[in-house]
Structure 1
Amino acid sequence: MGTTVLVVLVVSGALLLGAAWGLFWPLPRVVEGLLVAMAGGALIVSVTVELVEPARLRSGLLVAVVGVLAGALAFVLLDRLVKRRWGTDSGGGLLAAITLDGVPENLALGVALIAAGPAEVAALAGSIFLSNLPEAAGGARDMRSSGRGRRQAFGLWAATAGLLSAAALAGRIGLEDVGSTPLSAIRCFAAGAVVASLATEVFPKAYREDATWAGAATAAGLVLAVALSAIG
């Protein structure tokens, strides 16, 4: 359990590091876009290798397909609800939006750690860490540009890090005793939500910042995730 807590804290701590990075040493938007694209490419591979494929082998293709599609649909509907009801301008709406984007990743990390050591989920944990850094850096910088103070912006990201840590731990602890097939479905549900998040939030942002090199950066992220998976 100690290793699980350590992995979760490191991954969620990337949000705090990224927020401080964006508030005090902001990157050029092009560089940020390339990092976001790389992280997205890595996450696509990681959720496939660490979540979907093991679930398919353990519980069958139908469970995997239904789980992935259900997770993607749930994310799309919740994302639409959050944006319609709260927008992203208020502190609460912004917190809800960035938490919604991060919960699937951290839930996926939590369930991936069930009956597995940190080395076995190195690709997923590393990909989430890589994703959290530029996401928090860009979000904190945009908050600062819109008139929020550094303290308020950092506080929002700290609250997000706490919520996402809780999601990862809930996935690890709360789902530990469920059966093999339900766990496979949950893993695929989380994977589908992550993929939907990447398609609607991550890759469009990367393309807006640098349409020329976003594709190459995404491929570099894919290679990185494959390498991490091989090491694990």
Structure 2
Amino acid sequence: MLTATLYGLGTALPLLIGAAIGLRYDLPRPVLAALMAFGAGTMVAAVSTELFQPAFETEGIWTAGAALFAGALVYVVADRLIENKLGAGALGWALMLGSLLDGIPENTALGVTISSAGGVVLLVAVAVGNVPEAVAGAASMRSQPNFNRSRALSVWAATAVLLVLVVIAADAVADTISDSAIATVQAFAGGATIAVLADSLMPEAYREGGWWVGLSTALGFLVAFGLGA
């Protein structure tokens, strides 16, 4: 349980630190854009190598593809509801939702592979991606009318705690979870991540930074891919 707790903290603390930075400091727009683009690059690498590919190899294109589209659908619908409710302040909450929707399946997979080298690779990839995603999401929350820093930080903290508990729970029941089930949740996480990128993270990075953010995205992909190689 101690190892599972440490792994969970390894994914949750970067998320919480990133959120605290985004909520506390008024980052220059180019810096925020670079962080969002870098995070997008790490997420592209995670989807292709750590999430969808294992699901495809285990379950095939139809099952993995269905789970992928289910993850994307859940995020798109939830994001639309948030946007209708919050308007200008929706982006930050949408990114936090993305952290939750892809974080739960990722941390489930992490918990059940905690004793293998693959678990370490996934841990590093998730931790690297969580910081810029949380910084960008938390910073964007500040544009919401009636913004409350303490309330926003509490929500991010609750998300971080939940992700730790997911790792611990998955580790505890690892022997009872089938490879098929893990593959399904990995593909679901991949779909949610792709939707986060397409609907929220990459458009906002381009809007804030302009043409050069593609370079930061490529760097993020290279870093995450290199860590997983």
Equivalent residue for 2:133, pick from 132, 135, 141: 135
Say whether residues 1:207 and 2:223 are aligned partners. no
> Are 1:30 and 2:27 matched, yes or no?
no
- Residue 69 of structure 1 aligns with an amino acid whose one-letter code is F
User: After alignment, is 52-61 or 213-222 more displaced?
Assistant: 52-61
Match status 1:56 vs 2:56: yes
- CA gap 1:45/1:176 in 2 versus in 1, 3 angstroms: farther
1:31, distance to aligned residue in structure 2 (A): 1.2
CA offset digits 1:86-145 (Å, max 9, x no partner): 42679xx89964542112221232232223447424454334333332333344444456
User: Are the aligned partners of 1:122 and 1:228 in contact in 2 as well (CA < 8 Å)?
Assistant: no
2:158 equivalent in structure 1: 159
By how many angstroms is 1:193 displaced?
1.1
Structure 1, residues 20-43: CA drift from partner, whole Å, max 9, x if none? 323444331211211211111111
TM-score by length of 1: 0.81
Task: Give me the whole-angstrom Cα distance separating, in 1, the residues matched to 2:198 and 2:124.
Answer: 20
**Structure-1 separation of matches of 2:53 and 2:106:** 15
Contact kept in structure 1, 2:29 and 2:208, CA below 8 Å: yes
Give the counterpart letter for 1:180 in structure 2: D
Q: CA deviation at 1:54?
A: 1.6
Gaps of 5+ in 1: none
Cα pair distance change 1:156/1:54, threshold 3 Å: closer
User: Per the alignment, in what secondary structure is the counterpart of residue 154 of structure 1?
Assistant: helix
State percent identity of aligned pairs: 35
Per the alignment, residue 81 of structure 2 pairs with: 81
Going from structure 1 to structure 2, the CA distance change for 1:142 and 1:78 (only over 3 Å counts) comes to: closer
Deviation of 1:220 after TM superposition, in Å, equals: 0.8
How many angstroms apart in 2 are the aligned matches of 1:172 and 1:82?
32
The aligned counterpart of 2:10 is: 10
Q: Does 1:101 align with 2:76?
A: no
The change in CA–CA distance for 1:8 and 1:139 in structure 2 (over 3 A counts) is: same
Q: What is the alpha-carbon distance in structure 1 between the residues aligned to residue 223 and residue 92 of structure 2?
A: 30
Determine helix, strand or coil for the equivalent of 1:27. Answer: coil
C-alpha root-mean-square deviation of aligned residues, in Å?
A: 3.0
